């Protein structure tokens, strides 16, 4: 058992919110456990032996409310102080990354150095107070956590600037680094012209639900229109996912075969064969299968999950030998594994498909934040950088899809837990409550970190414009009336910097306030282009 003391305003917290709380083991996979609130404490009853770390959504002052974790801790009778262990892990992350990235020679006045030293002093102070004055120790550790987290984000950005400058100077940037997802129902010609002008490629969804709403029926019209347009515009496209068992992608009639794997497999085979044969002369990159490892809707076992992965990728390679195949990972931090015994942790799934010789060309990673549902709670920039670094070991290119909302998504209770109770809509936020300005800063920071990684071939924003069926509400670069948001201007500016041979634009960690500061606003020429329809 692990127990953590928590305080609120100098007193034991009566009811500490346990949002996105789970345990992580030594292999970084989630651990099954019962986590509950006691008076002034958090109690974690593990189902496995060995040390574990507690992850949860935690307030971090001006840096927002983020999903962070403690160090790996052994079980003991005496409770731990939550903020002390959170600060310990963040300081450990900071110093380990300084060593791993060979950045210990930063100047004494560098923000990372200054903040790191301040955080270390506050942490030592909290350790000295821990036995006799736990409340003061808790508060000092909370301050140390905020400063260390700020330093680690600054380090992640500083490292990305170095790597991105190197990619630019050596000419090793990919040919099509920045893309955007589209909605097949949006056929506005100005919208399409803006896509060609401002993005290097498009992600075209092909949900099974839309292509075959009834068994034996095919509806190709909207998809045909988009594929024909991208072909005529000579715009690269990534199509898919062809197979995803998310309810928004799966046709209702397929649920009849939920417990009949052989029939479901045949249906998947026929669907993939039909789609690829129709578009193989115009589409050359396929997102074949997405989120199969999460396995939260159908009752497939481990062997069946791997068989579906192998079968679909082999089929696409057989039908289109010159086509490229992506396997997309959803919920890449793997929280789902703590509650779903039928699932596979994301890194384990990635390793399995590499080691088993499955034929595919790249990993897709879908990283959405800002919605209170599994896999979309807000995390900091260092965690994003660390997540991507873990995929460097697989020697496969990575295509990253990102998204965050332009407003706080609190008005929607989208999903319900197994008990039928609505899930808390609070998903955390990065530095400020989600707004158009925060969305733009977050986009630029994550794009900078991702494009700096030598194994990342492409970064796409999840959706161009808001619409009712969007996976992440309010997560478009345009409003539902096609009005540009600050995030669109930031993405256009970042792409221009890359094309011009520079690495970054304005500081992604600059203050995010309403209305935009002068540094956030487009220049007069850019504003004129937007008004004249030359941009979206």
SS3 string, 200-260, reads CEEEECCCHHHHCCCCCCCCCHHHHHHHHHHHHHCCCEEECCCEECCCCCCCHHHHHHCCC
Which of 113, 140, 164 marks a domain boundary?
164
Q: Is 299 exposed, middle or buried (0-12, 13-18, 19+ CB in 10 A)?
A: exposed
Shared domain check, 352 and 395 = no
pLDDT at 47: 85
Of residues 518 and 156, the one with the higher pLDDT is: 156
Which residue matches tokens 């903040």?
115
Per-residue pLDDT of 271-311, as tens digits, reads: 999 999 999 999 999 999 999 999 877 888 999 999 999 99
Residues 213 and 109 in one domain: no
Does residue 403 share a domain with residue 351?
Answer: no
Judge if 346 and 413 occupy the same domain: no
Residue 328 counted as domain residue: yes
Q: Is residue 195 part of a domain?
A: no
- Residue 192 domain-assigned? no
Q: Name residues whose C-beta falls within 8 Å of residue 448's C-beta, 6 or more positions apart in sequence.
A: 157, 160, 161, 164, 494, 503, 504, 508
- 482 and 346 in a common domain: no
Return the HEC string of 300-330.
Answer: CCHHHHHHHHHHHHHHHHHHCCCCEEEEEEC
* pLDDT for the residue 319: 96
At 506, is the pLDDT very low, low, confident or very high (cuts 50, 70, 90)?
Answer: low
Reference 53, options 79, 16, 81, 28; nearest CA is: 28
Residues 142 and 270 in one domain: no
Would you call 353 helix, strand, or coil by DSSP? helix
The gap between the terminal CA atoms of the chain, to the nearest Å, is: 55
Could you give the strand order of the β-sheet that contains 41-46, starting from the edge strand earlier in sequence? 33-38, 41-46, 2-5, 80-81
Q: What is the largest CA-CA distance in the chain?
A: 73
Asked if the model's pLDDT at residue 417 lies above 60, the reply is no
Q: How many CB atoms are located within 10 Å of the residue 422 CB?
A: 12
β-strands 201-204, 237-239: how paired? parallel
Q: Give the 3-state secondary structure of residue 456.
A: strand
Shared domain for 298 and 354, answered yes or no, is yes
Q: Are strands 285-290 and 237-239 parallel, antiparallel or unpaired?
A: parallel
Identify the pLDDT of residue 412. Answer: 46
CA-CA-CA-CA torsion for 314, 315, 318, 319, nearest 10 degrees? -150
Q: Is residue 280 part of a domain?
A: yes
Q: Using one digit for the tens of pLDDT, what is the confidence trace for 95-151?
A: 999 999 999 889 999 999 999 999 999 999 999 999 899 999 999 999 999 999 999
- Reported as a single tens digit per residue, the pLDDT across 219-253 is 999 999 999 999 999 999 999 899 999 888 889 89
What's the CA gap between 318 and 325, in Å, rounded? 11
Indicate if 433 and 326 belong to the same structural domain.
no
Containing structural domain, residue 501: 365-372+384-456+463-536
- 430 occurs within a structural domain: yes
Write down the mean pLDDT value for the chain: 88
299 with 434, same domain? no
184 within some domain: no
Measured at the CA of 258, the angle between CA 255 and CA 263, to 5 degrees, comes to 100
- Which CATH number covers residue 211? 3.20.20.80
Number of folded domains in the chain?
Answer: 3
Segment 13-37 shows an average pLDDT of: 90
Both tokens of residue 204? Answer: 């075209």
- C-alpha to C-alpha distance for 136 and 124, rounded to whole angstroms: 12
Same domain, 237 and 103: no
| Residue 425: band (very low, low, confident or very high) from pLDDT cuts 50, 70, 90 | low
DSSP letters, 60-122, are: -GGGEEEEEE---B---SSPEEHHHHHHHHHHHHHHHHHHHTT-TT--TTSHHHHHHHHHHHH
Query: Band of the pLDDT at 257, cuts 50, 70, 90?
Result: confident
Q: What share of the chain is helix, strand, coil (3-state, %, to 5)?
A: 40, 15, 45
Which backbone phi and psi does 406 adopt, to 5 degrees? Answer: -95, 0
Residue with tokens 């086509």: 323
How many CB atoms lie under 10 A from the CB of residue 245? 23
Residue 185 counted as domain residue = no
Residue pointed to by tokens 């072909």: 231
d(CA 532, CA 129): 62
Does residue 176 belong to any structural domain of this protein?
no
* 351 and 467 assigned to the same domain: no
The answer on 392 and 347 residing in a single domain is no
Q: Would you say residue 313 has pLDDT above 80?
A: yes
Read off φ and ψ for residue 66, nearest 5 degrees: -130, 150
Q: How far is CA 451 from CA 162, 252, 420, in A?
A: 11, 38, 41
């Amino acid at each position: 058992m692990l127990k953590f003391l928590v305080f609120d305003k100098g007193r034991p917290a009566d009811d500490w919110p346990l949002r996105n709380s789970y345990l992580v083991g030594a292999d970084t996979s989630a651990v099954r456990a019962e986590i509950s609130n006691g008076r002034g404490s958090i109690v974690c009853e593990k189902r496995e032996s060995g040390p574990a770390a507690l992850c949860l959504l935690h307030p971090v002052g001006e840096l927002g409310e983020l999903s962070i974790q403690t160090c790996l801790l052994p079980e003991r009778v005496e409770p731990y102080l939550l903020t002390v262990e959170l600060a310990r892990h963040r300081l450990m992350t900071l110093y380990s990354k300084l060593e791993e990235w060979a950045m210990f020679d930063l100047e004494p006045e560098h923000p990372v150095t200054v903040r790191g030293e301040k955080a270390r002093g506050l942490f030592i102070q909290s350790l000295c107070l821990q036995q006799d004055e736990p409340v003061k120790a808790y508060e000092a550790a909370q301050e140390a956590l905020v400063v260390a987290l700020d330093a680690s984000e600054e380090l992640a950005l500083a490292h990305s600037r170095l790597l991105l400058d190197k990619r630019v100077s050596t000419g090793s940037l990919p040919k099509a680094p920045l893309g955007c997802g589209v909605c097949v129902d949006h056929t506005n010609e100005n919208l399409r012209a803006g896509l060609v002008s401002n993005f290097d490629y498009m992600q075209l969804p092909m949900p099974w639900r839309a292509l075959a709403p009834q068994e034996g029926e095919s509806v190709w019209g909207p998809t045909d229109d988009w594929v024909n347009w991208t072909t005529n515009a000579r715009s690269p496209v990534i199509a898919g996912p062809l197979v995803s068992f998310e309810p928004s992608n799966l046709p209702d009639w397929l649920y009849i075969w939920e417990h009949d794997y052989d029939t479901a497999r045949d249906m998947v085979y026929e669907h993939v064969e039909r789609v690829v044969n129709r578009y193989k002369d115009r589409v050359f990159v396929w997102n074949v299968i997405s989120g199969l490892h999460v396995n939260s809707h159908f009752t497939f076992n481990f062997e069946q999950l791997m068989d579906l992965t192998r079968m679909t990728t082999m089929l696409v390679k057989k039908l289109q030998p010159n086509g490229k195949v992506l396997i997309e990972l959803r919920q890449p931090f793997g929280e789902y594994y703590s509650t779903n015994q039928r699932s596979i942790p994301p890194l384990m799934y990635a390793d399995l498909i590499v080691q088993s010789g499955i034929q595919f060309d790249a990993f897709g990673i879908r990283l959405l934040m800002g919605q209170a549902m599994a896999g979309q709670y807000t995390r900091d920039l260092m965690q994003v950088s660390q997540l991507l670094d873990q995929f460097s070991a697989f020697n496969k290119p990575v295509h990253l899809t990102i998204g965050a909302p332009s407003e706080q998504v609190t008005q929607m209770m989208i999903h319900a837990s197994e008990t039928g109770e609505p899930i808390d809509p609070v998903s955390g936020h990065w530095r400020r409550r989600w707004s158009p300005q925060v969305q733009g800063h977050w986009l630029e920071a994550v794009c900078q970190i991702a494009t700096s990684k030598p194994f990342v071939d492409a970064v796409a924003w999840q959706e161009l414009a808001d619409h009712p069926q969007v996976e992440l509400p309010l997560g478009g670069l345009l409003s539902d009336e096609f009005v540009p948001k600050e995030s669109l201007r930031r993405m256009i500016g970042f792409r221009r910097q890359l094309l011009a041979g520079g690495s970054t634009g304005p500081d992604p960690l600059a203050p995010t306030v309403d209305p935009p500061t002068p540094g956030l606003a487009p220049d007069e020429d850019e504003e004129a282009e937007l008004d004249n329809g030359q941009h979206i």
